[in-house]
Chains A and B, each alone.
Chain A
């Protein structure tokens, strides 16, 4: 059998004609890719703001109980979360069929940031880790998911949660009920770390994030240690201790030396969520 039975292009015009089609196809692909990258960046941006908002409200300087404040934060910030989910909805037509996997790398940075934001709010509200099904559910309408969620994005997004919890634990520690909260978070982050450990070899990029989780965990543990050692010097009821502690560690809030996640990210001028594998 001869290969010549298949279409061959004998003239220059035929070749140019073929490449004309290629140009249209490639242009279409590139434009779509650009649009998706832009959406992904918007999502990253909004998710960061959402996380900051949660931190702000949850650690407001009021006399309320921490859990009450956390619930208020989640409630007040809910419209912002909706905004992000609307962007996902708008991406749906660009990601149908095999398009999702074609552009997965372009959208995964924003997606992971969103999962971090969602899991943080979920933790504030329920004190648990948001499940895979819940994340997928949050990006769905009556017709089903906007696009399939991958395990890898889910895990990598969750892995960033530990950093936020570290910030929360340390800012909250000086607030009323903060020491109990810090201990809760400490236990929670330890469990996350243990759960993720076994998945590292099978998820690209997870072991790097696991390293950051370790650092966060250590910071929470160090803070808990400081509290324990200080409180051992006094034999006082909890609320009085709270006041003393507030004075002791007020430095954690204002000096950002404990937030080394940020300098690390900015060092090479690139945000960690914007990596393209």
Chain B
């Protein structure tokens, strides 16, 4: 290799290393933020129904705060290189999706769309050649949501909220109908999708228990 080539390659490699470090800093920030949100939201399992709205409201600023990190990542990623780096923050983003959709469910009982989540995280359409929310990450987040809701179905009953499991059951079944539309390849998303049926089964059992004892009025 002649000297010029050698220098060119070394420079390019150094630049990559430097960029990776910068991204890593932002990602660890994102990770910290989403983890603490997940921690806060864990309180739903021990919070009575009437206090849930204020709990969700208290976490909203944290969700809002994620926007600074997504904006920082967008500023770092070179044009068209989103997929090169995205593995570094996939997990954090999935957690962020989970938090946003859980909060929406607790607020309105509905599913927040992918565009909705992108909006909540401050991800703009115009960013797409540098930073975006990929379908896979949104779907991963939703599966985490179902996992969490199956727990909530159980714990809500313990707290005396007998209607919640029925609401959850309806919501999760609709969501599952959506997932059934997909042709998933053999990857982690597929494996996690396959595990959804256990969550559904658990929720069904809770619904069965409360209806059998006429604890819930809805059908």
Contacts and interface: CB of A to CB of B under 8 A. Distances in A.
Nearest to B184: A26
A4 B104 contact: yes
A18 B114 contact: yes
Interface stretch (B27-35, B76-84, B155-163): B76-84
Contact of B60 (A3, A16, A104, A202): A3
A228 interface: no
Contact of B129 (A30, A97, A155): A97
A213 B34 CA distance: 45
A12 B80 contact: no
A191 B6 CA distance: 12
Interface stretch (B7-15, B41-49, B202-210): B7-15
A6 B116 contact: yes
A195 B5 CA distance: 11
Interface in A94-126: 97-98, 100-102, 104
A151 interface: yes
A156 to B, nearest CB: 12
A27 B139 CA distance: 15
Given A10-B110, A132-B5, A198 B10 contact: yes
Interface residues of B, number: 50
Contacts of B12: 151
Contact of B183 (A4, A15, A16, A27): A27
A101 B83 contact: yes
Contacts of A3: 60, 63, 100, 103-104, 107, 112, 116, 120
Contacts of B110: 8-10
Output the residue of A2, A4, A15, A20 with the most chain B CB within 10 A: A15
B25 interface: no
Contacts of B13: 151, 199, 202-203
A7 interface: yes
Interface stretch (B88-96, B145-153, B171-179): B171-179
Nearest to B57: A2
Contact residues of A: prevailing secondary structure: helix
Contacts, number: 121
Nearest to A154: B9
Contacts of A202: 13-14, 16-17
Contact of A101 (B82, B117, B135, B175): B82
A98 B129 contact: yes
Contacts of A10: 110
A9 B9 contact: no
B185 interface: yes
B10 A102 contact: no
B134 to A, nearest CB: 9
A30 B63 contact: no
Contact of A15 (B63, B84, B120, B177): B177
Contacts of B139: 22
Contacts of B114: 18
Contacts of A143: none
Interface in B64-114: 64, 80-84, 100, 103-104, 107-108, 110-114
A23 interface: yes
25 contacts: A1-B60, A3-B60, A3-B63, A3-B107, A3-B112, A4-B108, A6-B115, A7-B113, A8-B110, A8-B112, A8-B116, A15-B177, A15-B178, A23-B183, A30-B183, A97-B129, A98-B82, A101-B80, A102-B83, A131-B1, A151-B12, A151-B13, A154-B9, A198-B10, A199-B13
Interface of A: 1-4, 6-12, 15-16, 18-20, 22-23, 25-27, 30, 97-98, 100-102, 104, 129, 131-132, 151, 154-155, 191-192, 195, 198-199, 202-203
Given A8-B113, A15-B174, A20-B181, 6 more contacts: A3-B112, A3-B120, A8-B116, A9-B111, A10-B110, A26-B136
